[in-house]
């Protein structure tokens, strides 16, 4: 494979302004857990922790001057149905952007659901009034639940506390609760101490405490004057309330202050940072405090043992390259982590309870779905960022550059920016796609869909482009799209609207390539299979969010379309021949508009009523395709085109069918024959437990794939893997080998050895356990007189308090289960369709990987220049976007740090 290593494609990740978990504490019986990340570009990312896998499921795109500066999740109280089933509380997401407007987001459609504003200043902080109030004895089973009177409390720039009513699924501005005594006071942070007491940090060297019931001021906690910093007033950037009722604040002097929750007096003061403390979070039990500051430090505090119970800083680390602007904590379901972010745009996951024992982990600042595509026949590369699409071209193949005698001068000139397309409007681009010949470009936002015709000005060479707009039906374009995809033959455009609605647009090409094509005004609407989801699950939690389509792929001959959603369901459609006409000229099929059935007989509207009339029908074996165990990250077809349809499997031959690959966030790599609805023979023989440890142990998820005959290349943020499907993978060895010092690993198909079992649940959702320099014990050995020494485990999995009765069975399962003991439809298929591996005499590598490219924005294929002398070698463009090449704002330097 020839690789063009590219770093000039523009893409700057936007700074992180806010973080919020849907629930700070949860158990396995709780509803779904999600992490929302708000960025300065207005984008909101929805992440699923997935027991430490951290999958970026969707991105709700923002727009021009629509920064997200605060996020708040609201979890509605649980409900019990008449038959005794529990409905999880509905999750609602609210945001603000330093304006007087509060927005509620529709996660299913990826667009705003409600907006409300009042006669007050810009909002600087937002909090939700607690619905569940525990009793004084701490028994959660006796907690009082409020089903009405749900409020949002916002602190404004003009010193007002305002209320927003969110009852009955709405969002309405209600009234001003209280006003600060001074007009110069700004409400910059907020926290709740119980249901009726709200604590507000201000910009006037004080923290105010109000009663929610009548708006009266209960207390005023003064911070003094910042004489050393050159300013008189101290800003309380963040406040939090501990489990016992005490209050924690971080201010512009870099001091962490502990306040007594009963007398509202200062109990302790710690000099934690050399500059402003910008963010705070606490553990659920109130025993740990984590702070982040402008000096890039993340500090951890715990109470010292003894009767004094004073707080002390345990350690601090510089995990970010810039300010630590925001952080949020989560505990439960085996996780105990703190996620932080700031202007460096990189989310960092840090262990909470095991801080100092486990490493931190930096998540990717780049999107899970690469904003990159190629027109491989024309050697064009498109990339999009915010509201702009860039079109690049690589005129020379890698073999031509190697043979050229001019060396680096030719390599530097092997790129040309042909055009930049700026999309009108304020909404950011959600998706873009280009045809393989480079003649058609489709760009979508949340409010519009645009199509363009690209052609070379001289008619042959692609050195200069002529771009013209293609008219689309206004009703279709006005709805926007979350995803666009052009078929390989350029005759179909797939649009995903409102998260789950599928449309196909027919592109009519002209005989002369210089004339722009036309798009038929009548779209083909496809319906997915109605899955049997219990109603009590569909109406609670995230609702139908799991049915959001995130991936789509066309077969290489453009006659099959496959889509996948977050829940793991795969739906496929087949392009049928034009229907026969009756003697009176009418179609002998039933119109789809009159039928809403979800079977495969009729799933789309009629196409153009001429000789090119075709129909997309649902694959009759779609229901046989197994449900994936987790949300998919990659869905793609191989290059193989079946010669016949309806071929049946035999004991020795592989069926002649498409090969559809699905990679999930577990991880899980399966290959499917979609027409037959069954796994391929290679996938049945090579389960995930058989994959090399380099693939199974990597934490970054797969984000894309490239096919080359029987080989498939999988890539993530920091790695590039190759799988050869013409031979089986060897069985993993039983003994752990020393890791290789190089960056490349190749595994040949040798004799199989017994599989080794993996031990799971060893970390708390961040990084691996520290080997050297940890702050806690790594080994405890118990010696008994006259007996053998016994090593005790000190890093067992984190258990929830409400799940202690299940801990014994859970630990046993984690210790004994291997990766191939997976429950579900795939396990049943593997059990009934397993075959022995056929003997193979090939000795070429069955697996290859490298870790020298990072961070990878995306990889796209290119066709080699056709001169009749070059061999057919896979050629790709690998785009990297390292953090040091991104534009970051100026950061704070401590005394003497700049000189060092």
Which token pair is 896? 């003497």
pLDDT of residue 601: 38
Q: Identify the pLDDT of residue 839.
A: 45
The pLDDT, as a whole number, for residue 835 is: 43
Q: In this structure, how many other beta carbons lie within 10 angstroms of the beta carbon of residue 415?
A: 17
Handedness of CA 652, 658, 659, 661 (dihedral sign): negative
127-139 pLDDT tens trace? 999 887 666 555 5
Distances (CA, A) of 692 to 648, 730, 823: 32, 8, 22
Position 802 scores a pLDDT of 42
DSSP sequence for 801-819: GGGGGGHHHHHHHHHH--T
3 state SS of 742:
coil
pLDDT of residue 834: 43
Q: What confidence tier does 297 reach under pLDDT thresholds 50, 70, 90?
A: very high
- H or E segment at 410? helix 408-413
Average pLDDT on 72-99 reads 87
pTM of the model: 0.87
520-532 average pLDDT score: 91
Which residue's structure tokens are 């009852």? 167
Segment 189-211 shows an average pLDDT of 94
How sure is the predictor about 405, in pLDDT bands with cuts at 50, 70 and 90?
A: low
284 vs 755 pLDDT, higher one? 284
pLDDT confidence of residue 886? 78
Q: Quick count: other Cβ atoms within 10 Å of Cβ 343? A: 20
d(CA 168, CA 152): 14
For position 604, what pLDDT does the model report?
Answer: 40
pLDDT at 764: 76
Torsion angle in degrees (nearest 10) through CA of 650, 654, 657, 662: 120
Residue 762: what pLDDT?
A: 57
Distance CA 814, CA 795 (A): 14
Average pLDDT, the chain: 82
Pairing state of beta strands 524-526 and 501-508? antiparallel
51 pLDDT band, cuts 50/70/90, is confident
Measured from the Cβ of residue 889, the count of other Cβ atoms closer than 10 Å reads 9
How do residues 468-481 score in pLDDT, each as one tens digit? 999 999 999 999 99
Cβ neighbours around 834 below 10 Å, total = 12
Predicted confidence (pLDDT) at residue 840 exceeds the cutoff of 80: no
| Mean pLDDT, residues 612-616 | 74
On the question of pLDDT at 795 being above 60, the answer is: no
Cα–Cα distance for residue pair 16/14, rounded to 1 Å: 7
What pLDDT is attached to residue 98?
85
Mean pLDDT value across residues 502-511 = 90
Weakest mean pLDDT among 210-224, 609-623, 724-738, 881-895: 724-738
Q: Are 494 and 484 within 8 A, CB to CB? A: yes
CA atoms within 13 A on the CB side of 668: 23
pLDDT of residue 291: 97
Q: What is the mean pLDDT of residues 430-451?
A: 95
- With 50 as the cut, is the pLDDT of residue 804 above it? no
Identify the weakest region by mean pLDDT among 119-133, 160-174, 780-794: 780-794
d(CA 502, CA 496): 5
In the block, residue with structure tokens 């008619």: 459
**121 closest CA partner among 154, 164, 165, 95:** 154
Confidence tier at 350 by pLDDT (50, 70, 90): very high
DSSP 358: B
What number is the average pLDDT over the span 503-528?
A: 88
The most confident of 232-236, 410-414, 467-471, 756-760, by mean pLDDT: 467-471
Dihedral angle computed from the Cα positions of residues 118, 121, 122 and 128, in that order, rounded to the nearest 10 degrees: -60
pLDDT value, residue 85: 80
pLDDT greater than 90 at residue 833: no
Q: What integer pLDDT is reported at residue 741 of this predicted model?
A: 43
Q: Is 213 helix (H, G, I), strand (E, B) or coil?
A: coil
Give the pLDDT confidence score for residue 823 in this predicted structure: 43
Tell me whether residue 10 is exposed, middle or buried, using C-beta atoms within 10 angstroms of its C-beta: 0 to 12, 13 to 18, 19 or more.
Answer: middle
The end-to-end CA distance of the chain, in Å, is 43
**721, 847 contact by CB (below 8 A):** yes
26-45, pLDDT tens digit by residue?
877 778 999 999 999 999 99
CA proximity to 154, closest of 183, 119, 125, 117: 125
Q: How many CA atoms lie within 13 A of 786 on its CB side?
A: 0
Type and span of the H or E element at 685: helix 681-685
CB 671 within 8 A of CB 659: yes
User: Strand 711-715 to strand 704-708: parallel, antiparallel, or no bridges (unpaired)?
Assistant: antiparallel
**Beta-ladder partners of 489:** none
Q: What is the pLDDT of residue 575?
A: 93
Tokens of 387: 């509201």
Comparing C-alpha atoms, which of 261, 280, 134 is closest to residue 209? 261
> What is the b/e burial string over 541-560, where b = at least 16 CB atoms within 10 angstroms of the residue's CB?
bbebbbbbbbbbbbbbeebb
- Structure token pair of residue 391: 């079109």
Instruction: Say what the alpha-carbon torsion angle 510, 515, 521, 525 is, to the nearest 10 degrees.
Output: 60
Please, what is the Cα angle at 623 between 618 and 627, to 5 degrees? 125
What is the arithmetic mean of pLDDT over 210-229?
85
Q: Rounded CA gap, 36 and 105, in Å?
A: 11
Distance of CA 359 to the CA centre of its chain: 22
| β-sheet bridge partners, residue 87 | 79
- 758 — pLDDT class (breaks 50, 70, 90): very low
Residues 149, 469: Cα–Cα separation, whole Å:
52
Span 107-128, average pLDDT: 93
């Amino acid at each position: 494979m020839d690789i063009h290593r590219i770093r000039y494609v523009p893409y700057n990740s936007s700074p992180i302004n806010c973080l919020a978990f849907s629930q700070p504490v949860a158990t396995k019986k709780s509803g779904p857990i999600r992490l929302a990340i708000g960025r300065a570009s207005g984008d909101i990312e929805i992440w699923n922790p997935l027991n430490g896998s951290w999958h970026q499921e969707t991105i709700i795109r923002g727009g021009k001057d629509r920064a997200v500066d605060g996020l708040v999740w609201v979890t509605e109280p649980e409900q019990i149905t008449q038959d005794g089933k529990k409905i999880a509380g509905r999750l609602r997401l609210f945001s603000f952007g330093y304006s007087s407007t509060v927005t509620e987001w529709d996660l299913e459609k990826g667009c705003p659901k409600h907006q409300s504003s009042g006669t007050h200043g810009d909002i600087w902080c937002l909090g939700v009034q607690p619905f569940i109030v525990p009793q004084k004895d701490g028994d959660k089973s006796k907690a009082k639940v409020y089903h009405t009177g749900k409020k949002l409390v916002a602190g404004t720039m003009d010193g007002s506390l305002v209320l927003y009513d969110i009852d009955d699924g709405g969002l309405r501005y209600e009234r001003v609760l209280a006003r600060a005594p001074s007009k110069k006071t700004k409400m910059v942070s907020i926290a709740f101490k119980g249901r009726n007491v709200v604590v507000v940090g201000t910009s006037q060297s004080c923290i105010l405490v109000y009663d929610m019931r009548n708006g009266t001021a209960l207390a005023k906690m003064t911070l003094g004057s910042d004489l050393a910093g050159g300013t008189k007033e101290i800003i309380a950037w963040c406040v939090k309330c501990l489990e016992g009722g005490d209050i924690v604040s971080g201010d512009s002097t870099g001091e962490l202050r502990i306040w007594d929750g009963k007398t509202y007096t200062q109990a302790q003061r710690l000099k934690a940072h050399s500059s402003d403390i910008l963010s705070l979070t606490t553990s659920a039990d109130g025993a740990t405090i984590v702070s982040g500051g402008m000096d890039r430090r993340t500090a951890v505090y715990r109470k010292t043992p003894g009767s004094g119970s004073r707080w002390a800083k345990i350690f601090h680390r510089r995990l970010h390259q810039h300010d630590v602007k925001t952080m949020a904590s989560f505990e439960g379901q085996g996780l105990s982590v703190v996620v932080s972010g700031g202007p460096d745009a990189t989310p960092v996951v840090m262990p909470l309870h095991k801080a100092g024992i486990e490493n931190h982990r930096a998540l990717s600042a780049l999107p899970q779905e690469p904003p990159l595509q190629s027109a491989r026949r024309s050697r064009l590369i498109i990339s999009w960022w915010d509201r702009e699409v860039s079109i690049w071209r690589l005129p020379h193949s890698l073999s031509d550059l190697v043979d050229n005698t001019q060396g680096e001068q030719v390599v530097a000139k092997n790129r040309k920016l042909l055009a930049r397309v700026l999309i009108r409007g304020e909404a950011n681009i959600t998706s873009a796609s280009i045809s393989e010949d480079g003649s058609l470009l489709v760009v979508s936002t949340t409010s519009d869909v645009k199509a363009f015709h690209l052609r070379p000005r001289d008619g042959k060479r692609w050195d200069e482009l002529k771009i013209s707009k293609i008219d689309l039906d206004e009703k279709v374009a006005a709805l926007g799209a979350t995803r666009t995809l052009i078929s390989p033959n350029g005759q179909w455009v797939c649009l995903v609207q409102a998260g789950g609605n599928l449309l196909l647009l027919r592109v009519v090409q002209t005989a002369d390539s210089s004339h722009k094509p036309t798009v038929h005004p009548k779209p083909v609407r496809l319906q997915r299979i109605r899955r049997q989801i219990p109603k009590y699950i569909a109406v609670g939690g995230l609702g139908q969010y799991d049915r959001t389509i995130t991936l789509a792929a066309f077969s290489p001959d453009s006659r099959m379309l496959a889509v996948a959603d977050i829940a793991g369901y795969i739906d496929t459609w087949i392009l049928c021949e034009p229907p026969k006409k009756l003697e009176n000229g009418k179609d002998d099929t039933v119109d789809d508009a009159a039928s809403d059935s979800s079977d495969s007989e009729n799933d789309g509207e009629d196409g153009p009523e001429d000789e090119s009339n075709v129909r997309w029908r649902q694959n009759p074996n779609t229901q046989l395709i197994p449900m994936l165990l987790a949300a998919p990250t990659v869905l793609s077809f191989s290059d193989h085109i079946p010669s016949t349809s309806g071929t049946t499997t035999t004991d020795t031959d592989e069926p002649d069918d498409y090969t559809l690959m699905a990679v999930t966030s577990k991880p899980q790599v399966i290959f499917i024959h979609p027409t037959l609805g069954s796994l391929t023979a290679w996938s049945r023989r090579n389960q995930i437990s058989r994959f090399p440890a380099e693939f199974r142990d990597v934490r970054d998820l797969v984000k894309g794939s490239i096919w080359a005959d029987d080989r498939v290349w999988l890539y993530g943020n920091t790695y590039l893997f190759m799988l050869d499907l013409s031979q089986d993978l060897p069985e993993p060895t039983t003994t752990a080998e020393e890791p290789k010092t190089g960056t490349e690993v190749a595994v040949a198909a040798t004799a199989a050895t017994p599989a080794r079992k993996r031990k799971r649940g060893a970390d708390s959702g961040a990084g691996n356990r520290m080997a050297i320099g940890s702050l806690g014990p790594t080994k405890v050995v118990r010696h008994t007189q006259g007996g053998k020494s016994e090593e005790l485990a000190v890093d067992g999995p984190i258990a929830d308090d409400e799940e202690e009765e299940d801990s014994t069975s859970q630990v046993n399962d984690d210790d004994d289960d291997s990766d191939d003991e997976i429950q579900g439809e795939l396990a049943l298929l593997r059990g009934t369709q397993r075959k022995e591996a056929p003997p193979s005499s090939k000795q070429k590598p069955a697996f290859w990987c490298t870790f020298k490219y990072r961070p990878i924005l995306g990889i796209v294929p290119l066709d080699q220049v056709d001169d009749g002398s070059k061999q057919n070698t896979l050629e790709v463009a690998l785009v990297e976007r390292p953090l040091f090449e991104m534009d970051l704002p100026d950061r704070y330097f401590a005394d003497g740090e700049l000189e060092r």
